C-alpha cells in the first residue's frame, strides 16, 4: 500500500502529497454530501416523531448533523492515525484556515440541506434530485485535482469550474494545507454569498412553513 | 377548558379544498369528552389539532391544559430501537431523567407485559404488541388531557380488560378526549359529547344526547 501511494506521487508533476490531497478532498466532499443528503430526508423521514408536540422539525436536522459531525471526526482521526503510521509529512501551512474551511463547508451544507429538506416535504422529487447530482458533483468540484493544474491546461475550463461554490471550498482547504498550493483562485466573497443566501433563505422558509411541515 | 375561536380547517384534495371545520367557535369545559362523527368527518384531525401537532388554517385553539400525543395505532416509535429505548427516548423528550425515567421504563415494561420482546427492536413486534407499548407509555405521563384515537379496540381480551381498568384509574387524575365508534365505551368513559357533522361542532352536556343525535344522522344517511 505504501508503494502504491508513493507511486501516485511520482506520476503527477506536483510536489504535494497526492494521497493527503485526496484524503482532504474526499473527507470534505463527503462531509458536504452527507450533510446535504441526511438533512434532505430529515423532515420526511422523522414524520412519526412530530406527534410529540415538543419535537420541532428542525430538531431532527440538528440531530442528524450532530451524528454527521461525530462520524466525520472519527473518520478524520482514523486517517490522521494512518498518516502518522505511514510516516507522512502532514504539516499544514495554515491549520486554522483548513479547519475554518471544514466548518464553513458544514454550515453551507446545513443551509442547503435545510432548503432541500423543506422542498422535499412538499415536492418529493427534490430529495431524489440531490441524490442524482451528487455523483457528477464529485467530478466537478475539484476533488481529484487542483484548479491550478486545470488552469495550466485550460483557463476557460478553470473559470467555468469556479462557478461551482464547492470548488472554492476545496481550493480553500487545499491551498491552506499544502505549501505548494495557494488560495489564489478562492473567492471568499462568493463563498460567503452562497452560504448566507442558502442559510438565511432556508431559515426564513423554515420559520414561515414550520407549521405546515409539522402537519404534512 | 379548551377554547376554539373562529377555527377553520381544510386539507387539499385533487378536487380542491375539503373543509373539516368552518368558522367554529366553541368553549369546551374540562370534562371527559367523547368525539363523535362519521368516518372522514375529521375527528382524528380535530384530535391532532387539539394536541397541537396540526394547525387550523385560520382561527385559534387555546387552552391552559397540557395534552398528550394522540394515542393511536400508528407512529411515534422508531422501529429500529427496542421498546425500552423508545420509552427512554420519549422520556428524554419530556425532560424526564434518572430515577423518574427508570420508574417509567419499569412501569411500561410491567404494563405492556410482552416479556423479552421489550428489549428487541420494535419492527419485530406485532401491531398488538406495539399498541400495548404505546398505551402503557402514554399512561405513564401526567397530562391534563389524554388524547385517545380508537386505541381501546386493540389487544386481546385480557389486555383490553387491563387497559380499561388502567384508564379508568387514570381518569381520576386527568381527563380524556376520546374518539371512538363504540357507543358503549363512550357512554362509560365520557361525560360530555361533541358531534362533528358537516363542518360544524355541536356540543352536548350529556354524552347520551350526543349519541342520540349521532344515531339520527346515521339513520338519515342510511
Assess if residue B9 is contained within a domain: yes
Domain count, chain B: 2
Q: How far apart, in Å, are the Cα atoms of A22 and each of A12, A30, A69, B89?
A: 13, 12, 20, 39
> For the segment B28-79, what is each residue's pLDDT rounded down to a tens digit?
888 899 988 888 888 888 888 888 888 888 888 988 888 888 887 666 888 8
Residue A53, CA atoms < 13 Å, CB-side half-sphere: 18
Assess if residue B158 is contained within a domain: no
- A51/B76 CB distance under 8 A: yes
Confidence class of residue A10 from pLDDT cuts 50, 70 and 90? very low
Specify the pLDDT at position B153: 61
Residue A198, all three cell numbers: 442558502
Specify the pLDDT at position A13: 52
Sign of CA dihedral A4, A9, A10, A11: positive
- A51/B53 CB distance under 8 A: yes
Window from A6-20, A169-183, B130-144 with minimum mean pLDDT: A6-20
Q: Interior CA angle at A65 toward A62 and A68, to 5°?
A: 160
Q: Interior CA angle at A145 toward A142 and A147, to 5°?
A: 70
Specify the pLDDT at position B158: 83
Residues B58 and B94 reside in one and the same domain: no
Domain edge (last residue) among B142, B161, B192: B142
Could you tell me what percent of chain B has a pLDDT over 70? Answer: 96
Buried b or exposed e, range A91-110, using 16+ CB within 10 angstroms: ebeeeebbeebbebbbebbb
Residue A8, all three cell numbers: 501516485
Domain edge (last residue) among B114, B142, B170: B142
Residue given cell 429538506 in the structure block? A117
Select, from the ranges A41-50, A109-118, B156-165, the one with the highest average predicted confidence (pLDDT). A109-118
Dump the DSSP string for B138-153: HHTS--SEEEEESGGG
A51 touches chain B (CB under 8 A): yes
Residues B9 and B55 reside in one and the same domain: yes
What is the pTM assigned to this prediction? 0.83
Whether A1 shows a pLDDT value over 60: the answer reads no
Q: What is the mean pLDDT of chain A?
A: 88
Count of CB atoms within 10 A of residue B164's CB?
Answer: 14
- B52/A53 CB distance under 8 A: yes
Confidence class of residue B220 from pLDDT cuts 50, 70 and 90? confident
- B52/A215 CB distance under 8 A: no
Assess if residue B77 is contained within a domain: no
Count of CB atoms within 10 A of residue B166's CB?
Answer: 14
Whether A167 shows a pLDDT value over 80: the answer reads yes
Specify the pLDDT at position A113: 92
Identity of the residue in B54, B77, B93 whose CB atom sits nearest the CB atom of A54: B93
The C-alpha of B77 sits at a distance from chain A's nearest C-alpha, in angstroms, of 7
Could you tell me what percent of chain B has a pLDDT over 90? Answer: 15
Assess if residue B90 is contained within a domain: yes
Q: Interior CA angle at A35 toward A112 and A148, to 5°?
A: 80
Confidence class of residue A81 from pLDDT cuts 50, 70 and 90? very high
Could you tell me what percent of chain A has a pLDDT over 70? Answer: 94
The domain that holds B28 is classified in CATH as: 3.40.50.300
The C-alpha of B93 sits at a distance from chain A's nearest C-alpha, in angstroms, of 7
Secondary structure class of A145 (helix, strand, coil): coil
Assess if residue B35 is contained within a domain: yes
Domain edge (last residue) among B142, B165, B193: B142
Distance CA B167, CA B178 (A): 12
Residue A209, all three cell numbers: 412553513
Whether A191 shows a pLDDT value over 70: the answer reads yes
Select, from the ranges A191-200, B87-96, B117-126, the one with the highest average predicted confidence (pLDDT). A191-200
Specify the pLDDT at position A9: 41
Identity of the residue in A51, A211, A215 whose CB atom sits nearest the CB atom of B69: A51
Specify the pLDDT at position B152: 63
Residues B64 and B88 reside in one and the same domain: no
Q: Give A146 or B71, the one with higher predicted confidence.
A: A146
- A52/B75 CB distance under 8 A: no
Specify the pLDDT at position B162: 84
Distance CA B70, CA B152 (A): 13
B74 touches chain A (CB under 8 A): yes
Assess if residue B78 is contained within a domain: no
Q: Are B129 and B158 in contact (CB under 8 A)?
A: no
Q: Are B66 and B33 in contact (CB under 8 A)?
A: no
Assess if residue B167 is contained within a domain: no
Count of CB atoms within 10 A of residue A26's CB?
Answer: 15
Confidence class of residue A14 from pLDDT cuts 50, 70 and 90? low
> For the segment B104-158, what is each residue's pLDDT rounded down to a tens digit?
999 999 988 888 999 999 999 888 888 888 888 888 888 898 888 876 666 678 8
A53 touches chain B (CB under 8 A): yes
Residue B139, all three cell numbers: 399512561
Secondary structure class of A210 (helix, strand, coil): helix
Residue given cell 394515542 in the structure block? B71
Neighboring chain B residues of A49 at a CB cutoff of 8 Å: 76, 78
Residues B61 and B33 reside in one and the same domain: yes
Whether A7 shows a pLDDT value over 60: the answer reads no
Domain that holds residue B198: 2-68+180-221
Amino acid at each position: 500500500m505504501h508503494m502504491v501511494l508513493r507511486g501516485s506521487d511520482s506520476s503527477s508533476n506536483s510536489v504535494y502529497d497526492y494521497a493527503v490531497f485526496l484524503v482532504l478532498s474526499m473527507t470534505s466532499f463527503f462531509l458536504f454530501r452527507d450533510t446535504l443528503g441526511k438533512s434532505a430526508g430529515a423532515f420526511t423521514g422523522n414524520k412519526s416523531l412530530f406527534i410529540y408536540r415538543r419535537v420541532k422539525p428542525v430538531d431532527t436536522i440538528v440531530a442528524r448533523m450532530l451524528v454527521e459531525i461525530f462520524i466525520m471526526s472519527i473518520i478524520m482521526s482514523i486517517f490522521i492515525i494512518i498518516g502518522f503510521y505511514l510516516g507522512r509529512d502532514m504539516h499544514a501551512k495554515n491549520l486554522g484556515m483548513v479547519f475554518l474551511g471544514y466548518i464553513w463547508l458544514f454550515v453551507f451544507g446545513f443551509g442547503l440541506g435545510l432548503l432541500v429538506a423543506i422542498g422535499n416535504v412538499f415536492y418529493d422529487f427534490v430529495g431524489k434530485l440531490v441524490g442524482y447530482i451528487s455523483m457528477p458533483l464529485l467530478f466537478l468540484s475539484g476533488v481529484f485535482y487542483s484548479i491550478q493544474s486545470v488552469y495550466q491546461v485550460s483557463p476557460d475550463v478553470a473559470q467555468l469550474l469556479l462557478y461551482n461554490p464547492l470548488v472554492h471550498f476545496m481550493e480553500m482547504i487545499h491551498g491552506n494545507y499544502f505549501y505548494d498550493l495557494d488560495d489564489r483562485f478562492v473567492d471568499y466573497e462568493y463563498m460567503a454569498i452562497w452560504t448566507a443566501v442558502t442559510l438565511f433563505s432556508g431559515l426564513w422558509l423554515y420559520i414561515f412553513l414550520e407549521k405546515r411541515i409539522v402537519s404534512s | 377548558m379548551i377554547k376554539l375561536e373562529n377555527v377553520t380547517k381544510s386539507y387539499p384534495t385533487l378536487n380542491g379544498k375539503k373543509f373539516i371545520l368552518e368558522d367554529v367557535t366553541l368553549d369546551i369545559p374540562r370534562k371527559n369528552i367523547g368525539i363523535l362523527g362519521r368516518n372522514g368527518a375529521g375527528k382524528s384531525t380535530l384530535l391532532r389539532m387539539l394536541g397541537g401537532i396540526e394547525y387550523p388554517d385560520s382561527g385559534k385553539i387555546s387552552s391552559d391544559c397540557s395534552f398528550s400525543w394522540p394515542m393511536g395505532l400508528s407512529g411515534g416509535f422508531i422501529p429500529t430501537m427496542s421498546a425500552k429505548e423508545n420509552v427512554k427516548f420519549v422520556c428524554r423528550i419530556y425532560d424526564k431523567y434518572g430515577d423518574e425515567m427508570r420508574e417509567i421504563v419499569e412501569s411500561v415494561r410491567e404494563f405492556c407485559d410482552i416479556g423479552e420482546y421489550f428489549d428487541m427492536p420494535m419492527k419485530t413486534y406485532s401491531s398488538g404488541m406495539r399498541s400495548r407499548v404505546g398505551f402503557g407509555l402514554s399512561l405513564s405521563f401526567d397530562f391534563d388531557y389524554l388524547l385517545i384515537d380508537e386505541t381501546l379496540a386493540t389487544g386481546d381480551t385480557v389486555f383490553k380488560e387491563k387497559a380499561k381498568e388502567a384508564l379508568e384509574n387514570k381518569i381520576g387524575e386527568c381527563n380524556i378526549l376520546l374518539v371512538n365508534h363504540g357507543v358503549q365505551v363512550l357512554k362509560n368513559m365520557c361525560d360530555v359529547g361533541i358531534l362533528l357533522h358537516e363542518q360544524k361542532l355541536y356540543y352536548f352536556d350529556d354524552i347520551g344526547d350526543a349519541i342520540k343525535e349521532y344515531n339520527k344522522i346515521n339513520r338519515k344517511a342510511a
